[in-house]
Amino acid sequence: MTEHTASQPAVVIERTLDAPVALVWQMWTEPEHFKAWYGPNGASIPVAKMDVRVGGARLVCMEMETPKGTMQMWFSGEYREIAVNERLVYTESMSDEHGNVISPSEMGMPEGQPETTEVIVELEDLEGRTKMMMTHVGVPADSAGAGGWAMAFDKMVTHVGSLRG
């Protein structure tokens, strides 16, 4: 984290997965794997476009059923740092389906939400298992976003297990 981001709220979640680092890396960088686990329970990911290179764009659609019908939330961002199987850093902003950033207030979010947040994923090889630390800078640790990440990582564990047989 930079000095600027260190003062912002952040969700920090650490998990140890029974999978090699290369497989956990694929969960974050390959659209078909990302779609399988990302989002809270009940969410699906119909779109995940990922140009995984520094400066490359990402565009993700999360879809959920609500009492008022299907709701879509779009997120766009840019990859900032890539160290294969070790570290991935990207920005994330709420957007429309074309990747145009929408301010949090326009989306009905509470005052003070940052327009752009930063996700930092760090992976460590533990002799066939992987320690994964995810930091989402700009999202408070006690927010709905934090709960969503926890649910998503439970789904990731299940998805990784299904691939390992």
For residue range 35-51, what is the model confidence (pLDDT) as tens digits? 999 999 999 999 999 99
Residue 129, pLDDT above cutoff 60: yes
Count of CB atoms within 10 A of residue 104's CB? 19
Specify the DSSP class assigned to residue 20.
-
**Quick one: CA dihedral 156, 148, 50, 138, positive or negative?**
negative
CATH architecture group of domain 3-164: 2-Layer Sandwich (3.30)
Task: Say how many Å lie between the first and final Cα of the chain, rounded.
Answer: 36
pTM of the model: 0.92
Residue 1 has pLDDT above 60, yes or no: no
Position 6 scores a pLDDT of 56
Is the model's pLDDT at 92 over the cut of 60?
Answer: yes
Hey, what are 24's tokens? 């956990």
Residue with the larger pLDDT of the pair 9 and 108: 9
Q: Which amino acid is at 92?
A: E
Quote the percentage of the chain above a pLDDT of 70. Answer: 96
Q: What is the mean pLDDT of residues 125-149?
A: 94
